Structure 1
Amino acid sequence: METPEVSLNEFEKIRREKLENLRESGHDPFNVTKYEVTNNSQNIIDNFEQYEGKEVSIAGRIMTKRDMGKASFIHVQDTTGQIQSYVRKDELTEEIFAEFKKYDIGDIVGIKGIVFKTQKGEVSIRANQVLLLSKSLKILPEKYHGLKDTEVRYRQRYLDLIVNPEVKDTFLKRSLIIREMRRYLDDLGFIEVETPILHSIAGGAAARPFITHHNTLDMDMYLRIAPELKLKRLIVGGFDKVYEIGRVFRNEGMSIRHNPEFTMIELYQAYADYEDMMDITEGIIKYVTKKVLGKGIVEYNDVEINIEKPFERISMIDLVKKYAGVDFKQIETLEEATRLAKEHHLEVQKHHKKGDILNLFFEKYAEDKLIQPTFVIDYPVEISPLSKRKKDEPDYTERFELFIVGREHANAFSELNDPIDQRERFKRQEELRKAGDDEACEIDEDFLTALEYGLPPTGGMGLGIDRLVMLLTNAASIRDVLFFPTMKSVQE
């Protein structure tokens, strides 16, 4: 005889009825305010010899339940993993055991008991006390199929974390990456600082900002696109080594590499240049990779990335010559650069200069070829409004970007500290804004004033933490390494 199907709503109705019965009997789980936890599942399993025969107390979510009449086996999942508990009727009062029999998968429980091994060799806890700490009124996804729908996983990350243990591991690694990054810089004498997220001027990077409004001041403000200009003011003020880890916001397209808000680290060091920044950037990535993975080889998308070897350093001009066959050292005029760009089907805008066109060639022909860690150096001045010019090649700057697996991971330069040159570059950015480029920087008069007081020779670097986490966890999308990625609203 077939068992009639019960709808999910009907199952949820049954769970709510169980909750009402508990409340009527004076055992409302939501009235429990505290439970003493002495151990976690992984620690008990890893150190069985130490805990065998001893009493422990754990708490977590029921993930499996196997009823055998006068006894039951359940697996309880806590923040470190799962452990089995053996619950026998003769170890509990009749009332408590009867109540336990009604517990559901997903319920959060406290278990106290003696550590032992079953005949099959599984480390378990023989319960002498069970307590319902929170009632789950929803049904968890079916055990063997899990939660596979990526849309649901991103929107309901809490559910994703419950049923997909590897997701939790990704975020534990993310936390470790940030912690070790701090340790590395602290050991170098850097200090961590905080600067405002609300800015009165959008600057510090080429990006479209989010605009908000401050009611009391009756003025528009911007969510920061970068902390750069604030941090450089601190160097002017006498702090020689500073860094900040925090959220930045860019009102741009979304993709597997881009989220409107993301986390980056920016650091600045007085009396240093972009070569020093290359050394620090390479050092951070090598150090963090070893701490997180225990080795210097990263396996990403079936490709081995060698972090141990010295990172290659090559100019943008040389890369374009290598992959596009175009030598910009031989191109003297904008007209010639424009003609070559059109021959290569590149879209040239009216405001583009020769350096902009060089960058178009780089993005089309070279960027995705940079799989192993590569510092692309000496960017054209047109796309580097905050970078110091090269002494022997004033059309280019002391700037680099780090590429791994064809993606930019870091951007750095010898900071422009000439207030006269900086004003001229801000003016060009202002002209671009007037021409319709809403990613161009505004003129920041206070920053120019700070430069006039004197910014020492300084190196600065910004590194995208989300992309580094993607690399070290073999994540295909930035959404996989953000707890709560930005999603389109679901219409009710």
Structure 2
Amino acid sequence: MSDTPSDISHDQHAVRRQKLADLRAAGQDPFRANVATTHFSADAKALYVEGQDDVVSVTVAGRLVTFRVQGGSSFVKILDQQGQIQLYFRKDVLGEERYGVFKKLLDLGDIIGVTGTLFKTKTGEITVRVDSFTLVSKALRPLPEKWHGLSDAEQVYRQRYLDLIVNAESRARLLLRSKVVSHIRRFLEDRQFIEVETPVLENTAGGAAARPFVTHHNALNVDFFLRIATELRLKRLLVGGFDRVFEIGRIFRNEGVSRRHNPEFTMLEVYQAYSDYRGMMTLIRDLLTTLVRDVIRPADGSLKIKHAASGEEIDFGGEWREVRYKDLITQATGDAEWFARSKGEKVAGAEKLGLYVDPKWEEFEITNEIFSKKIEPTLIQPTFITHLPKELCPLAKLNAEDPSVLDVFELTIGGMEVAPAYSEQNDPDVQRQMFEAQAGEEQQNIDHDFLLALEHGMPPAGGMGVGIDRLCILLTGAESIRDVILFPQLRPADAK
């Protein structure tokens, strides 16, 4: 009978523990060792000067990911946060005892540090000729096979650390996410925006229409909500005289999980006094085009990236379409009088398009279902959808010419909303009316302190939210939001 993978893993675990015991018996405990590195892998390789072998000395460290022993000499590769670098071990350099330790007691997955000089092999690979090495962590469990050992999606998300070791694509995608966030910060700071932090625990769940997570504060003996948005806190800062503010923070919404939704996600919210929704159009276009140019860096030097689902090229350097929400709905339904129809007629119209309509839905919800299911997925190129119905956002200014709509836009790219923005409502009386209309009988959910702040005067402003996770889906071509989050929420492994 052949061994099962679990049997093999168990056997390797035992063998590796014995190797650790042998090292400790010889007075070499790897978990008490360390190494002072001088460079990461890519930085080290960049130091090599063509034709000058064994001139530059470096100390690098990382995890053993390939191991090729050839008698008295061996080639291995280690992995660090910049990638891989090849190492060359020779018995006549290390001495027979140390070379024996290297051959017999080291395994794939172990973490080592080496000091040596750079040279180029006959195949043209820049390599470290090892003068000395130190084992600084013994891997007691084997790594999964590169192509077959981590194919289960659940394991990828649950054991992300293994995914990052064996899957270069995942590692590159998640490193790119960090670069995206770093670029956003620099972009805004260069424009004199101030980064701030606002509370995660809130007395009132405001700033969005979403179901919150509820927790209890023992010392105060009151319930708190994990925030569903940062908007109302940030606009208080506009009142306080901070004219340009932003926050990149975690948001929590106790709702469904899907390819584009995670209960905990990252949101950029940015507010600029003396601006409006059109000012936000300029800001988001400049931000995204610089992201593509400076972080994604398309190989052809353009501002085009490939949309993973359709294969279509998204051109950030081309025309950014601007279209009114009502015009899109009229086109999708084929009904020029759609917004004058009764609820029953709208239900029938939506069902004719093959959509399910909940009898409890309001008329604007029926219309928005048509938008989200029949229109939004078709908008691959950057599109500003403007002047949405007033029922969709109680925090935006009503349009002066048509008070049934708002001075807002939703930026849709790749068939999904990337950034909503609006001219912020700063009239405290209108804001109170809109809050009350949205809250209905649940008036206790109104943030009265925010209304009090508005009564002290808030300057006119533009505000915008950008879903960082969705933006990273778009820029990296990921299939799911879980692929751009290091540790997505999962059901406990032992849950039934």
Find the aligned partners of 2:113 and 2:40 in 1 and give their Cα distance.
12
Q: 1:39 to 1:338 in 2, by over 3 A?
A: closer
Are 2:90 and 1:88 equivalent residues in the alignment?
A: yes
Q: What residue identity is the alignment partner of 1:80? A: Q
**CA drift at 1:363:** 2.1
Alignment of structure 1 residues 126-275 onto 2, 5 Å? 126-145=129-148, 147-275=150-278
Per the alignment, residue 25 of structure 2 pairs with 24
Q: What residue identity is the alignment partner of 2:9? A: L
**Match of residue 307, structure 2, among 300, 318, 328:** 300
Q: Which runs of 5+ in 1 are unaligned?
A: 435-440
1:188-241 superposed Cα distances (whole Å, 9 cap, x missing partner): 221111111110000101111111010111111001000000011111111111
Alignment of structure 1 residues 334-483 onto 2, 5 Å? 334=343, 336-337=345-346, 340-341=349-350, 344=353, 345-350=355-360, 352-353=362-363, 355-431=364-440, 442-483=445-486
Q: What residue identity is the alignment partner of 1:180? A: H
Q: 1:44 to 1:342 in 2, by over 3 A?
A: closer
Find the aligned partners of 2:149 and 2:42 in 1 and give their Cα distance.
22
1:10-38 superposed Cα distances (whole Å, 9 cap, x missing partner): 11101001101111111000011x31112
**CA drift at 1:343:** 5.1
Does the Cα contact within 8 Å between 1:211 and 1:221 map onto a contact in 2?
yes
Find the aligned partners of 1:318 and 1:53 in 2 and give their Cα distance.
69
Alignment of structure 1 residues 37-116 onto 2, 5 Å? 37-49=37-49, 52-54=53-55, 55-102=57-104, 103-116=106-119
Does the Cα contact within 8 Å between 1:426 and 1:442 map onto a contact in 2?
no
Find the aligned partners of 1:61 and 1:481 in 2 and give their Cα distance.
23
**Match of residue 289, structure 2, among 286, 290, 311:** 286
Q: 1:93 to 1:446 in 2, by over 3 A?
A: same
Per the alignment, residue 438 of structure 1 pairs with none
**CA drift at 1:40:** 2.6
Q: Which runs of 5+ in 2 are unaligned?
A: none
1:97-139 superposed Cα distances (whole Å, 9 cap, x missing partner): 2211121111111111222222333222221111111100011
Residue aligned with 1:131, SS: strand
Residue aligned with 1:104, SS: coil
**CA drift at 1:346:** 4.8
Residue aligned with 1:101, SS: helix
Per the alignment, residue 323 of structure 1 pairs with 332
Find the aligned partners of 2:396 and 2:124 in 1 and give their Cα distance.
63
**CA drift at 1:328:** 4.6
Higher deviation after alignment, 59-68 or 252-261: 59-68
Residue aligned with 1:49, SS: coil
Q: 1:351 to 1:474 in 2, by over 3 A?
A: closer
Find the aligned partners of 2:71 and 2:171 in 1 and give their Cα distance.
34
Q: What residue identity is the alignment partner of 1:293? A: I
1:362-385 superposed Cα distances (whole Å, 9 cap, x missing partner): 223211111111111111111111
Residue aligned with 1:269, SS: strand
Measured on the aligned residues, the alpha-carbon RMSD in Å equals 2.2
Residue aligned with 2:49, SS: helix
Residue aligned with 1:230, SS: helix
Higher deviation after alignment, 334-343 or 155-164: 334-343
Q: What residue identity is the alignment partner of 2:212? A: P
1:130-166 superposed Cα distances (whole Å, 9 cap, x missing partner): 1111100011112453522221111111111111112
Find the aligned partners of 2:4 and 2:238 in 1 and give their Cα distance.
72
**CA drift at 1:4:** 12
1:24-61 superposed Cα distances (whole Å, 9 cap, x missing partner): 111000011x3111223223334421663122211111
**CA drift at 1:457:** 1.3
Does the Cα contact within 8 Å between 2:347 and 2:357 map onto a contact in 1?
no
Find the aligned partners of 1:342 and 1:152 in 2 and give their Cα distance.
40
Residue aligned with 2:445, SS: coil
Q: What residue identity is the alignment partner of 1:298? A: I
Q: What residue identity is the alignment partner of 1:81? A: G
**CA drift at 1:335:** 5.8
Q: What residue identity is the alignment partner of 2:112? A: V
Find the aligned partners of 2:418 and 2:221 in 1 and give their Cα distance.
38
**Identity rate, percent:** 46
Find the aligned partners of 1:417 and 1:332 in 2 and give their Cα distance.
32
**CA drift at 1:186:** 1.3
**CA drift at 1:429:** 2.2
TM-score, scaled to structure 1: 0.93
Does the Cα contact within 8 Å between 1:324 and 1:365 map onto a contact in 2?
no
Find the aligned partners of 1:455 and 1:426 in 2 and give their Cα distance.
17
Higher deviation after alignment, 35-44 or 368-377: 35-44
Find the aligned partners of 1:195 and 1:35 in 2 and give their Cα distance.
39
**CA drift at 1:330:** 5.9
Does the Cα contact within 8 Å between 1:324 and 1:366 map onto a contact in 2?
no
Q: 1:20 to 1:384 in 2, by over 3 A?
A: same
Are 2:491 and 1:488 equivalent residues in the alignment?
A: yes
**CA drift at 1:64:** 1.3
Residue aligned with 1:220, SS: strand
Q: 1:356 to 1:38 in 2, by over 3 A?
A: same
**CA drift at 1:71:** 2.0
Find the aligned partners of 2:276 and 2:191 in 1 and give their Cα distance.
16
Find the aligned partners of 2:158 and 2:260 in 1 and give their Cα distance.
18
Find the aligned partners of 2:196 and 2:138 in 1 and give their Cα distance.
43
**CA drift at 1:327:** 2.6
Q: 1:433 to 1:364 in 2, by over 3 A?
A: farther
Q: 1:3 to 1:286 in 2, by over 3 A?
A: closer
Find the aligned partners of 1:452 and 1:3 in 2 and give their Cα distance.
74
Q: What residue identity is the alignment partner of 1:53? A: D
Q: 1:313 to 1:423 in 2, by over 3 A?
A: same
Per the alignment, residue 11 of structure 2 pairs with 10
**CA drift at 1:424:** 1.8
